[in-house]
Structure 1
Amino acid sequence: MAPKPAELWCFYVALALGFMGIAIADSPYRFFDWNVTYGDIYPLGVRQQGILINGQFPGPEIYAVTNDNLYINVHNSLPEPFLLSWNGVQQRKNSYQDGVYGTTCPIPPGKNFTYRIQVKDQIGTYFYFPSLAFHKAAGGFGSIRVLSRPLIPVPFPEPAADYTLLIGDWYTANHSILKTILDGGHRLPNPNGIVINGRGPQATTFTVEKGKTYRFRITNVGLQHSLNFRVQDHEMTLVEVEGTHTMQNTYSSLDVHVGQSYSVLITANQPSRDFYIAVSTRFASKILNSTAILHYSDSTTSVSGPIPGGPTNEIDWSLNQARSVRTNLTASGPRPNPQGSYHYGLINISRTIKLESSAALVDRKQRYAVNSVSFIPADTPLKLADYFNIDGVFRIGSIPDFPSGKKMYLDTSVMGADYRAFIEIVFQNHENIVQSWHLDGYSFWVVGMDGGVWTPASREQYNLRDAVSRCTTQVYPKSWTAIYVSLDNVGMWNIRSEFWARQYLGQQFYLRVYTPVKSLRDEYNVPDNALLCGKAAGRSTASP
């Protein structure tokens, strides 16, 4: 699916140009000009107020190629502050542009801000979304696809077309009503349905030609539910997960947890008619379903009959599928060297961090926490406070490395970490729900997951050879998931629950990856166009 000329303009510079204080020669630049507004949308057939970007819901798709520089000029025409975050785009040495309040000042109403991002050494499928004020429940999200450079081969033939499916649970209530419920200390009710590319059942059609193979990029942009994706009478071959080419396993259905992205190949090898593309909730007391249509170009027969059923609460089935997702060690990533050339399993771990979620009432209001600390935003973005050496905004070590057993409390939680350390993080889930966790600024290796309580002996079952590298991972009920992370990206990086009500009510913190060496080789300076707010207001971006 080719980008529209009005949405995307690319040119190659002939001379070295300044980019975030570093000279980059011959790097492609792509320019986007977006206007963010409210408007009427009807995702489940009910009129409601949604967030539009250039009049679109979902927002425009970003197309890029490895190492492209993206200049995204965002005009905030909402009556309140606004921020966009870039889920999975790693923002090398540049957490100022991450688009969450811990790193970036909101765009004031009536103002604009230009994000300047390089998709450095990345390929794959990602998405953007609004990160403030529960705006995510109103839309404002869209897909990001980063293609390989032409000289670097991908491990599968060029598909006949490349389709995007943004799937997620959805509320018909206005996002401001949902925010009021959370601010009042209450939990949200169950969602009203599932949307596919912003539309309800059978409202979206993908046309295929018999005998050809198509790439489908599937991203769960919802608020809380794991979803199962399947295509009636068709199998799918998994080829990419959040920037990693995978072993090309075949599945009849695929679990996509909140915040996760997958690419699959589907061959139109059935009799010419229309087929259901089905999406349904997993691990939920009430099963919600939605459908799109896979339409053979010469079909004269519409879909009929029941929607093909999928798994519902089978934890072991999902766990085994997750373990089967592995890296294709012989495929090139964004560079020509094979993905398996980085032997993560042979590197000594310098630190272990164990993170435990919890839910409790604090001052008679519902809150969520990590290691007993429920995050509260400071009056100044943490990264700006760090850069300008502003005291009293946050404290390093305000969240412990291990569960403390303390009663839940509120704090602006920041964990310190050393640049170039190689660490192990264990997510321990004592709850009866599937959790989803994301780390900004990085991809990590999902080395293990299993039921019960993690202990050092659990390392004996780790996959130290071909674990998938990604930025969002699930943790099953009464289970644990372990990841390895190479801390090669200096900055202030958000670790959060992808269940958005939980994130909003405190289930997040920041990892400050620090080096005492002040060098543009390791981290860029604050952008010269940075918005400065809170205690950073009035400072000069020329020097701290």
Structure 2
Amino acid sequence: MTRDTSTEKNLVQEHKQHATADGSVSPYVNTNDPSSKRSLRWKRYLAIVVVLILVLGLALGLGLGLGLRHSSKAGSDSPTRSPTPSNPQTPSEESQASLSIPPWRSNVEDYILDMASWDFNAPPSTREYNFTLSEVQLSPDGVFRTMIAINGRFPGPLIRANTGDRLIINVQNNLPNGTAIHWHGLFQNGTNWMDGTSGITQCPIPPGGRFTYNFTVENQFGTYWYHTHYSTTNGDGPVGPLIIHSPDEVKLQKYYDVDQVVLMQDWYHDYSQALLPDYLASGSENGEPVPDNGLILGTNYFNCSKLGPDSGYVCEQNSTRAALTVEHGKRYRYRLINTGAFATFEFSIDNHPLSIIEADGTATEPLAVHRLEIAVAQRYSVVLTANQSTASNYWMRAQMNTFCFGDDNPLLDADVRALITYTNSTIEPTNSIDWKDALDVECVGLNSSLLTPFFRTEAPPATVFYALAANFQIGDYAIDRAYINGTSWTMSNVPTLNQAVAGLQSSNSTFTTSGVSSAFSANQYVIDVPDIAVVDLLITNYDEGGHPFHLHGHSFWVVATSPDQYFDWSTYSALNTTLPNVMKRDTIMIDAYGWALIRFVADNPGLWALHCHISWHMESGLLMQFQTRNDIMKTWELPADVLGLCAT
């Protein structure tokens, strides 16, 4: 947003009127009046302060944490827009340069991890955070809209801990609707009720309500994140990184010198709940809302002239692109997180090859790439070596794969960019060249078989096998709903965890029968897994779009994938053996009309969701659940504060 400098300009002008160039008093001031002398002194002091503020604002405006700003000169990709009632006068190039970072925007530097002072071998400790969720009017790309901020800021704060630490996050819900926060990728072993999944592990935190998430992070480290898990609201802004360290991580530090988080996401100029009715309406098959823009580290440029004067949007031509400073000769680990609602990104950095060293919390042997696909909810760590000319800046690109969209959006520039700068400047690149590697012409993800775990793992043979079919069907009233094995999920008023614990404690046999459970309502597809089974799960996608499936509470081995429609059963006996060092992750992109065979050990007690992480698809029903370790669950007493959420 443009800062109002009219008060400052008036004060400076007043000072100029009351003092001569040599500092002597102007004849307009009554120097015999003590109050006038005091007034003059105060005005001088105030003028000095104002000048200092203006200088500081200019310095900050040029600082790299603010991002790259765009002028309205001919040839720029931000042409001048005529002022309209909903669009204030486009600021000049000079005024744009002096803009300071809005107080609500998290800075690039907020996501740089201090490696020198962090104790990777510290004994377990408790780390506490306070989150207040509220609706605010903000403009990450210059277009004002209602969004959800955490502590008044966007993106959300960095959570950082060591494996073994206890995390306490106090959440105050100041939203008009309920909410819950999911800690994406964390196992929550023994604290299933802290998974933050509305209708499954908890009732939503009510408007005006407060809830404390309290859990210990054990037996995992790497790049994770958090987001709301209530309807489609995670696409409205309440997201942030969650980084877990371990002594083992030090072994990876031979590959890099600087550690930094890079969030990317698609972005809509409308609140998700406003877009949802049209998507769920009859006759809207494959009609997912197409993003209006994309963000890197919570910001990007948007051309306000694309919005007509009657658009109804307020757009200020002061948007920025994030700028990340590099020093020649250093190596940078970028922890990439796709926190969006729909789009798959193809990530690259001009003139700089990358090396993948992590995927979804699993450290990997370095894999050299020019660009890589990042589906919704996936994370990758890549290493950049800053070895290019220091006389130039370069583009960081997160290019949306538009082949995943069912429609076009004329507002969208799918080439989302940030700036890599050696020069401590925000000058647009002139010698920055995108890689010639072809962009995807299908909606696909990175082939997990290309990745090899850095720390060796072994996948034991499966003891049970389940098959899931995911598709969309035209149902009653011609509404297009998503189904898994014929069931379209809707959020339960009583969490399935609460139902299962109560049923197990009462020795209700319907809650202990292995296989597809009959204990829940018809819109809850739950598979009750035998105790400590090794599960092979075949997920077949009968839809024309790719789907990033995420499994809560577990990571899984990727046994095999295929873009073909049907699984060749004759190959299964060869696959169901001990598999050495295959890739583990928690989110996998399943190709259109393709399948994936994944394997996990069902030793984590609770109710765990498996769902497509595209917000629109999950809300339309593309979710099922696993019920695991009944022997432990039947001994549980759910915490009073968790049960209390359902009493409001």
Shorter-chain TM-score tier: 0.7 to 0.9
Deviates more, 1:176-185 or 1:356-365: 176-185
Shift of 1:361: 2.0
Distance in 1 of aligned mates of 2:617 and 2:510:
22
Change (3 A) 1:394 1:77: farther
Are the counterparts in 2 of residues 447 and 483 from structure 1 also a CA contact under 8 Å? yes
Q: 1:350 aligns with which of 457, 460, 463?
A: 463
Q: Is the 8 A contact 1:178 1:188 kept in 2?
A: no
Which residue identity is paired with 2:245? Answer: L
Alignment of 1:370-519 (within 5 A): 370-389=484-503, 411-452=523-564, 453-459=566-572, 460=574, 464-517=579-632
2:209 counterpart residue number: 111
CA contact (8 A) 2:262 2:296 kept: yes
What TM-score, normalized to structure 2? 0.71
The CA distance in 1 between the partners of 2:261 and 2:466, in whole Å, is 35
Q: In structure 2, the residue corresponding to 1:210 is in which secondary structure? A: coil
Measure, in 2, the Cα distance between the counterparts of 1:302 and 1:502: 38
How far has the Cα of 1:447 moved from its partner? 1.3
Post-superposition shift, 1:183?
4.9
User: Is 2:448 the counterpart of 1:322?
Assistant: yes
CA distance in 1 between partners of 2:404 and 2:529 (Å): 37
Write the distance in 2 (CA, Å) between the matches of 1:204 and 1:2.
12
Aligned to 1:41: 138
Is residue 122 from structure 1 mapped to residue 220 from structure 2 by the alignment?
Answer: yes
The alpha carbon displacement at 1:386 in A equals 1.8
CA distance, structure 2, for counterparts of residue 71 and residue 175 of structure 1? 29
Number of the residue aligned with 2:439: 312
Native 8 Å contact 2:178 2:205 kept in 1: yes
Give the gaps of 5 or more residues in structure 2: 1-108, 302-319
Question: What are the residue-to-residue correspondences of 1:521-536 with 2, within 5 Å?
Answer: 525-534=637-646
CA contact (8 A) 1:281 1:312 kept: no
Would the alpha carbon gap of residues 490 and 221 (structure 1) be closer, same or farther in structure 2, given more than 3 Å must change? same
> Percent sequence identity over matched residues?
24
Alignment of 1:43-122 (within 5 A): 43-101=140-198, 102-122=200-220
Deviations 1:374-433 (A, max 9, x none): 012222011112223399x9976999769xxxxxx9622211112310010111123322
RMSD: 3.2
Cα 1:4/1:268, change in 2 over 3 Å:
closer
Could you tell me which amino acid in structure 1 is paired with residue 225 of structure 2? F
3-state SS of paired residue (2:251): coil
Q: Equivalences for 1:94-173 in 2 at 5 Å?
A: 94-101=191-198, 102-149=200-247, 153-157=250-254, 159-173=256-270
Please say which of residues 456-465 and 489-498 is displaced more in the overlay: 456-465
Q: In structure 2, what is the Cα distance between the partners aligned to 1:314 and 1:68?
A: 44
Structure showing the higher strand proportion among its residues? 1
Q: Report the Cα offset of residue 249 of structure 1.
A: 1.0
Distance 1:265 1:358, change over 3 A: same
Runs of 4+ more than 6 Å apart: 1-5, 397-402
How far is the alpha carbon of 1:192 from its aligned partner? 1.2
Q: Given the alignment, which residue of 252, 276, 289 partners 2:395?
A: 276
Alpha-carbon deviation of 1:154? 2.1
Task: Look up the equivalent residue of 2:422 and give its one-letter code.
Answer: Y
Describe the superposition over 1:127-176 as per-residue Cα deviations: whole angstroms up to 9, x where unpaired: 11111132112110111111113x76323427332221111222111222
Output one character per residue of 1:249-269: Cα deviation in whole Å (capped at 9) or x when no partner: 111101101110011111101
Q: Is the 8 A contact 2:222 2:361 kept in 1?
A: yes
Deviations 1:103-146 (A, max 9, x none): 11211111210101211111011111111132112110111111
3-state SS of the aligned residue for 2:257? Answer: coil
Asked whether the equivalents of residues 211 and 269 of structure 1 are also in contact (C-alpha less than 8 Å), the reply is yes
Residue matched to 1:406: none
Match for residue 200 of structure 1? Answer: 300
Partners of 2:438 and 2:179 in 1: how far apart?
A: 38
Q: State the shift of 1:491 in Å.
A: 0.5
SS at structure 2 position matched to 1:374: coil
Letter in 2 for 1:417: V
Moved more, 502-511 or 283-292: 283-292
C-alpha contact 2:266 2:342 (8 A) present in aligned 1: yes
Q: 1:361 aligns with which of 474, 484, 491?
A: 474
Whole-angstrom distance in 1 between the partners of 2:429 and 2:142: 20
Q: Is the 8 A contact 1:355 1:401 kept in 2?
A: no
Query: Which AA in structure 2 matches 1:313?
Result: D
Which residue in 2 is equivalent to 1:257? 375
What is the aligned length?
Answer: 495
For the pair shown, the structure with the greater C-alpha radius of gyration is 2
Rounded Cα–Cα distance in structure 2 between residues aligned with 1:519 and 1:195:
45
